[in-house]
């Protein structure tokens, strides 16, 4: 399993691996929002947590269609399915590799980009905490979407449409936690809900993903 | 332990292509599958490898003992030859890849990115993966595509060595490998056209 994780991380940082794609998109969104909204710092401060969360979610979505499609195209998915690793483990490792190459950089970049959006000082801690808790759920749910659409040519559109509604609860509670944190209110309830969603999908989603992948590999 | 395939009926895209396929493959034995294009050789091999469930019949003795080699080699072009092979060796829990590299004359290419290899060299790297799986049953789909004569000889020697050590090999190929192997012509097993009564089944 470590071998698969190391391979995926290595592939992500080599030429053509797509590492940084999500990060660049996140940067573009958050840099452009102040231009689009106008220089009203109080308004920016109010929308900053939501914009940062939305940017992180869309960046995650952007990189999903490569998650399994590349392994499908070169045939390694077939070979992995006949390897001693259970498909559930393969899927979980793929989601973990996606989180490390996409989710984690977003979490680390978010505080820097918060400055551009005039995020209140109290908000930084809770923004990072909520992203840290929420982005694993985005990767795991996204892997399910990728497993559903693997083998479809240009499956990216269908993938986005399928994954979008599943992302809504994570977005609601994640952005709510960050917003309440920024406004100095209690964040326990949305954070607990967010942690619950993440823990639930990490525990259950790999089974669903492996099941649809088995059907798609036939 | 032998590989028993009995009365196997398989489908592609929901339509039966082969039915009543039966054979027994014993340790040290090889079976060559022949048949015209579209007869279902790949589908049969995928079913035996466990990638798709058969419509009927059963495969015994194959669980966790099959190494499957498909049309595509599953190589990552950004990784080097060693990294590609080392990955599969770790997945299958074997240590050394030197013997596999040597068997297919890849030692000199070991630090080249797989993307820069020629089609035949890629194929040889794909085939060397079988050696690091450490599994007794080799199920191979057209293994000699894009190989030159010398490489075909390397492949035949690798299969010969595998059989000599008690392994089994099931190979779909059109060329003569010079192996002492039984040949199974799939032509007579072609499935009769079937009226579809299970509409949903075609999608699942």
> What DSSP line would sit under A137-205, residue for residue?
HHHHHHHHHHHHHTT-TTTHHHHHHHHHHHHHHHHHHHHHHHHHHHTT---HHHHHHHHHHHHHHHHHH
Provide φ and ψ at B169, rounded to 5°: -140, 135
Looking at the complex, report in whole angstroms how far the Cα of residue A72 sits from the nearest Cα belonging to chain B: 9
Query: Residue B161 contacts by C-beta under 8 Å, 6 or more apart in sequence?
Result: B103
On whether the CB atoms of residues A177 and A116 are closer than 8 A, the answer is: no
Would the CA dihedral through B60, B187, B136, A206 be positive or negative?
negative
Measured in angstroms, the CA of B35 and the nearest CA of chain A are apart by 21
Distance CA B45, CA B135 (A): 16
- Collapse the DSSP code of A79 into the 3-class scheme (helix H, G, I; strand E, B; otherwise coil) and give the result: helix
Q: Domain boundaries in chain A?
A: 33-217
Q: Which of A15, A17, A78 sits opposite B51 (nearest CB)?
A: A78
SS3 assignment, position A104:
helix
How far apart CA A179 and CA A175 sit, in angstroms, is 6
> Which residues in A have their CB inside 8 Å of a CB on B?
2-4, 7, 10-11, 14-17, 71, 74-85, 215, 217-218
Do B186 and B34 contact (CB within 8 A), yes or no? yes
- Range A29-45 average pLDDT: 91
Is the Cβ pair B66, A82 closer than 8 Å?
yes
Across the interface, whether the CB atoms of A215 and B71 are under 8 A apart is answered no
The distance of A18 to chain B (nearest Cα, Å) reads 12
d(CA B89, CA B56): 34
Residue reference for tokens 């823990």:
A199
Long-range contacts of A147-155 (CB under 8 A, 24+ apart): A147/A68, A147/A91, A147/A209, A147/A210, A147/A212, A147/A213, A147/A216, A148/A212, A148/A216, A149/A65, A150/A68, A150/A69, A150/A72, A150/A77, A150/A213, A150/A216, A151/A72, A151/A216, A155/A65, A155/A69
> What span, in angstroms and rounded, lies between the C-alpha atoms of B16 and A6?
41
> Tokens 């089944």 identify what position?
B201
Domains of chain B in start order, with CATH, are: 28-56+65-184 (3.40.50.300)
Q: Is B17 on the interface with A (CB under 8 A)?
A: no
Q: Tokens 């779909």 belong to which residue? A: B172
Per-residue pLDDT of chain B (204 residues; tens, 9 = 90+): 788 888 889 988 878 888 888 899 888 889 999 888 888 899 999 999 988 888 888 888 878 889 999 888 888 888 999 999 999 999 888 878 888 898 898 889 889 999 899 999 999 999 999 999 889 999 999 888 888 989 999 999 999 999 999 889 999 988 888 787 888 888 888 887 766 566 565 555
Q: Quote the pLDDT of residue A12.
A: 86
Asked whether the CA dihedral A120, A124, A129, A130 is positive or negative, the reply is positive
The pLDDT value recorded for residue A189 is 93
pTM listed for this prediction: 0.89
State residue B177's pLDDT score. 81
Q: Is B68 on the interface with A (CB under 8 A)?
A: yes
pLDDT at position B204: 54
Contact list in A for residue B97 (CB cut-off 8 A) is none
Of A2, A74, A218, the CB nearest to B74: A74
The pLDDT of residue A171: 95
Q: So what's the pLDDT on residue A109?
A: 93
The answer to whether the Cβ–Cβ distance between A79 and B52 falls below 8 Å is no
Cβ neighbours of B68 in A, within 8 Å? 78-79, 82
In angstroms, what separates the C-alpha of B180 from chain A's closest C-alpha?
A: 27
- What residues contact residue B70 under an 8 Å CB cut-off, 6+ apart? A75, A78, A79, B42, B141
Chain A: closest CA distance from residue B108 (Å): 23
Q: Who among A7, A17, A75 is closest to B87 (CB)?
A: A7
By the CB < 8 Å criterion, does B79 face chain A? yes
**Residue to substitute from A7, A8, A214, interface B, most B β-carbons within 10 A:** A7
Asked if A82 lies within 8 A of B79 by C-beta distance, the reply is no
Interface of B with A in 115-174 (CB under 8 A): 129
Residue owning tokens 């030429």: A15
- Please report the ipTM that was assigned to this predicted complex: 0.85
Residue whose tokens read 């082969």: B18
Q: Which tokens belong to A137?
A: 């759920």
Among the partner-chain residues A16, A71, A84, the one whose CB lies closest to the CB of B91 is A84
**For A44-58, what is the mean pLDDT?**
93
Q: Are B49 and B77 in contact (CB under 8 A)?
A: no
pLDDT band at A65, cuts 50/70/90?
confident
Separation in Å, CA of B202 to nearest CA in chain A: 11
**Residue B90's CB: how many other CB atoms inside 10 A?**
18
Q: Say if residue A164's pLDDT is above 70.
A: yes
Question: Looking at beta carbons, which residues of chain A come within 8 Å of B13?
Answer: none
Summarised one tens digit per residue, pLDDT across range A71-95 is 898 889 999 988 888 999 999 999 9
Q: Do A78 and B50 touch (CB under 8 A)?
A: no
């Amino acid at each position: 399993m470590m071998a698969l994780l190391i391979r995926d991380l290595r592939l992500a940082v080599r030429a053509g691996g797509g590492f940084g794609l999500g990060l660049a998109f996140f940067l573009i969104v958050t840099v452009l929002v102040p231009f689009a909204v106008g220089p009203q710092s109080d308004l920016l401060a109010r929308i900053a947590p939501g914009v940062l969360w939305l940017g992180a979610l869309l960046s995650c979505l952007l990189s999903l269609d490569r998650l399994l499609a590349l392994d499908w195209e070169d045939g390694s998915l077939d070979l992995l399915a006949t390897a001693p690793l259970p498909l559930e483990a393969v899927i979980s490792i793929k989601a973990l590799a996606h989180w490390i190459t996409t989710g984690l950089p977003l979490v680390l970049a978010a505080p820097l980009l918060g400055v551009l959006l005039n995020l209140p000082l109290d908000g930084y801690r809770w923004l990072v905490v909520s992203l840290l808790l929420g982005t694993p759920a985005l990767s795991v749910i996204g892997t399910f979407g990728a497993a559903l659409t693997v083998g479809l040519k240009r499956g990216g559109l269908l993938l986005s449409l399928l994954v979008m509604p599943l992302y809504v609860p994570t977005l609601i509670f994640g952005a709510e936690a960050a917003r309440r944190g920024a406004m100095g209110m209690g964040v326990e309830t949305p954070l607990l809900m967010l942690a619950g969603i993440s823990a639930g999908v990490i525990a259950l989603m790999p089974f669903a993903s492996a099941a649809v992948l088995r059907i798609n590999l036939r | 332990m032998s590989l028993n395939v009995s009365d196997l009926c398989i489908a592609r895209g929901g339509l039966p292509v082969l039915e009543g396929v039966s054979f027994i493959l014993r340790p040290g034995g090889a079976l060559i599958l022949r048949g015209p294009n579209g007869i279902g050789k790949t589908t049969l091999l995928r079913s035996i490898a466990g990638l798709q469930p058969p419509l009927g019949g059963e495969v015994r003795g194959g669980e966790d003992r099959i190494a499957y080699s498909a049309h595509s080699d599953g190589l990552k072009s950004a990784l080097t030859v060693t990294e590609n092979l080392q990955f599969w060796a770790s997945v299958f829990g074997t240590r050394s890849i030197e013997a596999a590299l040597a068997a297919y004359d890849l030692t000199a290419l070991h630090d080249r990115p797989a993307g820069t290899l020629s089609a035949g060299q890629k194929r040889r790297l794909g085939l060397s993966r079988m050696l690091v799986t450490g599994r007794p049953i080799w199920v191979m789909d057209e293994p000699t595509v894009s190989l030159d004569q010398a490489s075909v000889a390397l492949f035949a020697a690798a299969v010969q060595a595998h059989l000599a050590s008690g392994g089994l090999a099931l190979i779909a190929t059109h060329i003569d490998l010079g192996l002492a192997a039984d040949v199974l012509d799939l032509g007579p097993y072609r499935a009769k056209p079937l009226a579809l009564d299970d509409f949903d089944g075609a999608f699942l």
